[in-house]
Structure 1
Amino acid sequence: MRLRLVNPGAEPWTLAGAALVDSTGEEVDLTRWQEAPIPANGAGAVVVGIKGERAQLGCPCTLKLWEAQGPRTVTFVNVTFPVSQQAAP
């Protein structure tokens, strides 16, 4: 999932970790990619995803992103995903 984030702070923001927490409290660590730190008072993108097989999550979920150096965390609540349909054999 690609997210565009705005950094209202005075320091750049660098993604250090990402996790999804489902409605039962199960947490799944996510792979993450960020081309460059999000500049102070600027915007940028991060990409997060589940590595390997798709997890069976009980949504809605909470998506948490945290920075490398500092206390700033981004939290999205009530995250849901479309139901995937598998092709018939």
Structure 2
Amino acid sequence: MSGYRYRDQHTPPPARQITDVAVERFEHIFEVDPKLMTVHVAQQLFPNWDTLRIARSRGDHLEWMHRHWAGEVLSGQELLDELEGSTAEAGE
């Protein structure tokens, strides 16, 4: 049996800078760099296990949203291709 240790659960792993605005603390979980969110957005602390729980449930939530609201689901690549096409047409 493992016990709950506040320090272990409320101290996130060190952040790894991914871009100018994004950091990664857990594999494949990206967040806005907290340094950029100090003035207008109060940061909330919650346990590491809750961060991982939320990340694991993202796919289920997205699937639910698609079933209930989307008439069509496009990939991000399709959107980028469409944008590049409209940019190329505008430059002609």
| TM-score interval for Structure 1 and Structure 2 normalised by the shorter chain | under 0.3
Larger relative contact order (CA 8 Å, sep ≥ 6): 1
What TM-score do the two structures reach when normalised by structure 1? 0.19
Q: Pick the structure with more strand per residue.
A: 1
Greater Cα radius of gyration, structure 1 or 2: 2
Q: Pick the structure with more helix per residue.
A: 2
